[in-house]
Amino acid sequence: MLLLLLLAAAISVVAAVPEAVLRQDDRGLEFSLPQPLPTLGPRRTRAVVFRDDFNGANLDRNHWKYEVSMFGGMNWEFQVYTPEHANVFLQGGHLFLKPTLTINDPRFNENFLTTGTMDMTALWGVCTNSGNYGCTREGRNGMLPPIMSGKVTTIPTIRFGQVEVRARIPVGDWIWPAIWMMPRDSVYGTWPRSGEIDIMESRGGNHGVNEVSSTLHWGTAWDHNNYGLTHGEVRKSSGGFQGDFHTWKLDWTHDHIVTSVDGQEVLRVTPPGGGFTELGHVSGSPWPGNSKMAPFDQDFFLILNVAVGGTNGYFPDGWNYGVAKPWPNNSPHANADFWSKRNQWESTWHGNNAAMEIDYIELRSL
């Protein structure tokens, strides 16, 4: 495919050169007068839509939104996202998203987790996602989230362009950091019909820290998600990705989506002429008559978050973690199982090392 593209580019350049003017010399032989090369237009630059270097005292609420919910995605993660300064804060020109123990908040204690009521609106004045009992839960119906953490989303969006994030991912068992994007308007319907772009996901613990992944989610329903066709991973032969700063990039055009870390490609998706419908052999496509990049042809916003645990298999039961995984993914009380074994993992969370630390983010449009 690359060779064909190079040949096509070469042909287009040749075709753009003016035809030679033929003359005859005194022997009657034809020769051509040199012609000037065509003048190239200005190189197309990508306009900066939004950049944040986090140099203020607080997160800019004109450009960022806090997630305030116990929703936990569709993964039944173990955290509640809050706007608390302990979970989302600026320090030294960096943004920190940090998981903490719920019982470390003076309003809560161990007994509260199993007998109390967590009402997001009463506690923080807002609930941003009511799914999966995200706004109100009672501990007597199942342990309340034992972890508090941070998740923020940009108000500015892009539709085709580039995303760049320089960040240090967390160190700590069962921590799940992510840099990703979701559609602003979900013009093709509910997830995954309108798509999801995962620029970076990783694990902070002692198994999986040498691996980062990128994924596109798309399909007709949650159980017909074709992400397996658009998933890429990069592994380090020694050491891990946590602990150091890395630069994560997304290049998103009318032809392809490419992600990279420190210049190393993680995922490249170039759908065929029939788009993602053809790529996934999708019947009853929700994107008929749209561009080949649909559903990835609409406005998306950036999301930064640090989750903990979950039961969707991102932390597989069968992996060897050095210690037994605290919860099986089919457990009806997974967060309680996780919490009951905190003596196994709490010591791996060391202060701000357990946070995702972001140096800057930048969104550029085509």
What SS3 state is found at 9? helix
pLDDT at 25: 40
| Class of the CATH domain delimited by 65-365 | mainly beta
121, containing H or E segment: helix 120-124
Answer for the pair 352, 98: CB distance below 8 angstroms, yes or no: yes
pLDDT at 45: 62
Q: How far apart are CA 97 and CA 184, in angstroms?
A: 22
Give the residue among 351, 306, 344, 341 at the shortest CA–CA distance from 104.
351
Give the residue among 116, 252, 241 at the shortest CA–CA distance from 171.
241
Task: Compute how many other C-beta atoms are within 10 angstroms of the C-beta atom of residue 209.
Answer: 20
The phi and psi torsions of 281 (rounded to 5 degrees) equal: 50, 50
Answer for the pair 80, 108: CB distance below 8 angstroms, yes or no: no
pLDDT at 74: 84
pLDDT at 44: 56
pLDDT, one tens digit for every residue, the chain (366 residues) = 433 333 333 333 333 333 333 334 433 434 333 344 444 444 456 899 999 999 999 999 999 999 999 999 889 999 999 999 999 999 999 999 999 999 999 999 999 999 999 999 999 999 999 999 999 999 999 999 999 999 999 999 999 999 999 999 999 999 999 999 999 999 999 999 999 999 999 998 877 788 999 999 999 999 999 999 999 999 988 778 887 999 999 999 999 999 999 999 999 999 999 999 999 999 889 998 889 999 999 999 999 999 999 999 999 998 878 788 999 999 999 999 999 999 999 999 999 999 999 999 999 999
